[in-house]
A and B are shown apart, each in its own frame.
Chain A
Amino acid sequence: MKTLMKTMTLAAVLLSSTAAVAQDKPKIGAAVYGLNAEFMQLWAAALEDHPAVKDGLVDVTIFDGRYDALVQQEQFETMITQGYDAIIFVPIDIEAGAEAVQLAHDAGIPVFGSNTRVNSDLLNAYVGSDDVQSGYMEAKYVLDQIGCTGNVVVIEGPIGQSAQIQRLEGNEKALAECPDVEVVEQQTANWSRAEAQTLMENWLTAHPGDIAGVIGQNDEMALGAIEAIKAAGLSVNDFAIAGIDGVTDALLAVKADEMASILQDGAAQAQGALDLAIKAVNPDYEPMSKIWEQYPDMPWNGGSDKEYNVPWTPVTLENVDALLEMRQ
């Protein structure tokens, strides 16, 4: 017990001393929905890698929301109590996140959305990518490959999540352009590779030789479909398969010419949101991230836009090696 008390006192002293040192630097918190999957880790790594953080111009703290809207809200309360200057928010839930934004707004702290949307007009700005567009792009790829004729299957994300809804909208937009293509199966595999594998195994049995294309709403599920095809003793090259996100395994599969993937640039979403957050605290600030040069289609505009749309990058045999290099 005594040791515990000592540790706690020590921790308190340490905490207050770091707070004192950091007082003149803008303190920015990033509340992300969860750090268990690769995508958000790349996002978080990019945030820590931002030139302003590396040069010590700002202090950034990342809070792991552990996939729970309530945890995220409590982290907002913590940040408000500790007097953070700005918050970057990647919500788990489009609706439940609104309350957290309201709390920060009431405390006069600007909030910037990144990656996933929140249903609130109190957000200062949002930096993300348009999921309808990626859904359209991946479906278009599959349909082009099969010559706009034949049967396809759609493997969906968890029904009701904003990415699933929007990517499906994009899928359907592309499918509408190919009236001869029939969607023979459409079901959720909850972003999971193992679930998609089981689903695809069963579909291959139910429609032998009848499936030409696989539209996976993320890479993991497209990869599961590839494993199912291999397990059934079929050739992956006989199928047109696409996924979204550009996770490392998908990049490797693109390199092996097994699927197509569309890279969602989480790093740009993170760094863009941080530039905006610093600008909100320090009006003289000029953006330091390279992303504004990298994406001429997404102009900085003095940091005054409400919405910044990070373009999607189709992963091709030409750029896949460079993208893999960046992951090392």
Chain B
Amino acid sequence: MMAAEASQNRDFKVIAAEYGQKYGILMALVLICIILTFANEYFLTGRNIVNVLRQTSINGILAIGMTFVILTRGIDLSVGSVVALAGIVSASLATTSSTAAVLGAPYAAPIPLAVGIGVGLVAGWVNGVFVARYNVPAFVTTLGMLSAARGMALLYAGGKPVPALTDGYRFIGTGSILGIPMPIILFALVFLGAWFVLTSTRFGRQVYAVGGNPHAARVSGINVRRVRLLVYVISGGLAGIAGMILAARTGSALTQAGIAYELDAIAAVVIGGTSLSGGVGKVTGTLIGALLIAVVNNGLDLMGVESYYQQVIKGALIIAAVMLDRARHKAE
């Protein structure tokens, strides 16, 4: 009887902490939105909501890839550099003077876009091979890729920006369908895809299993190496997509693009409640984390608050989120 009560009590603690964590972040987001609605008349307008979502899209896509990696106890520090590399390489095929443009509209966008995703996938695959096959720590592997991919982007472009992109290519950054900007549509598709994979597929369950307990996962017949490889490929491919959206939005691909983007992506994942020790977390949390960062930046910009405060507040959010994570672990 006593034992049952104690275990019930513990279950309750776990559940409370889990709910507190999951809905704590959501509540924080709602609370901040309510405050900003009262603080600034333009915050809750259709146009500003579109702005916030658009400003979330690139970091959001990177953060979703990062969620897969962190769920397996990994980390991907290379995404910012892969953003630049994929943007530069794909954009170089999409300038108004490039072959694709000369071939005509049907080729002007698809070929460069496919190449850009390909660059991201290859970079991710290289990361994955070193981490999964050669057991090099993810931090070290992706730190190496962070440097190498940036260097390759600089080499490829000779350090110069790649300007004058075709309208077809720019559509993914500046176009819209039914009034919804393309970056938001792509972000939504990536989110829905990731959500489906993580909640409803065998691969999704394997990701959690590998992150939760790699040894048990291996014993139960999961190809751990394959799962670990694939999460880096996913992260790289999504970084490729993000890089092209960035180039299409800014109108030219820049070699300095994406510097320190990996940190914002990791921040969104951590704020969203995914545990850096793997196995626990949800892509919905990452979505909320990414939105929270964008909403805070947007709100402070609207109110004319100096950008340096934004960095301080983001830092405080990250630490608060990790505190919640620790509290939950203790409860378990």
CA distance A139 to B183 in the complex (A): 33
Q: Please give, as numbers and ranges, the residues of chain B lying within 8 Å of A192 by CB-CB distance.
A: 256
Contact B47 A224 (CB under 8 A): no
A203 within 8 A of B: yes
A122 within 8 A of B: no
Q: Is the interface of A mostly helix, strand, loop or mixed?
A: helix
B246 within 8 A of A: yes
C-beta contact mask, B165-201 vs A, less than 8 Å → 1, else 0?
A: 0000000001000000100000000000000000000
C-beta contact mask, A181-199 vs B, less than 8 Å → 1, else 0?
A: 0000101100011100111
Contact B174 A230 (CB under 8 A): yes
Partner of A205, one of B42, B256, B304: B42
**Contact (A194, B250) CB under 8 Å given A36-B154, A205-B45:** yes
A223 within 8 A of B: yes
Chain B, interface size: which category?
A: 20 to 34
Chain A, interface size: which category?
A: 20 to 34
A232 within 8 A of B: yes
Partner of A227, one of B47, B249, B297, B304: B249
B277 within 8 A of A: no
Comparing B48-56, B131-139, B279-287, the segment that makes contact with chain A is: B48-56
Chain A, 243-298, CB within 8 A of any chain B CB: 247-249, 252
Q: Please give, as numbers and ranges, the residues of chain A lying within 8 Å of B252 by CB-CB distance.
A: 249
B163 within 8 A of A: yes
Q: Please give, as numbers and ranges, the residues of chain A lying within 8 Å of B220 by CB-CB distance.
A: none
Contact B163 A249 (CB under 8 A): yes
C-beta contact mask, A219-239 vs B, less than 8 Å → 1, else 0?
A: 000011001001110000000
CA distance A248 to B256 in the complex (A): 15
Contact A38 B161 (CB under 8 A): yes
A208 within 8 A of B: yes
B104 within 8 A of A: no
Contact B164 A198 (CB under 8 A): no
Would you give 29 A-B contacts (Cβ < 8 Å), ordered by A? A35-B159, A36-B256, A37-B159, A37-B256, A38-B159, A41-B158, A185-B304, A187-B301, A187-B304, A193-B250, A193-B254, A194-B257, A197-B249, A198-B55, A199-B301, A201-B51, A202-B301, A202-B302, A203-B301, A205-B51, A205-B302, A227-B174, A227-B249, A231-B54, A231-B181, A247-B161, A249-B161, A249-B163, A249-B251
Which residues of A does B touch, CB under 8 Å?
A: 35-38, 41, 185, 187-188, 192-194, 197-199, 201-203, 205-206, 208, 223-224, 227, 230-232, 247-249, 252
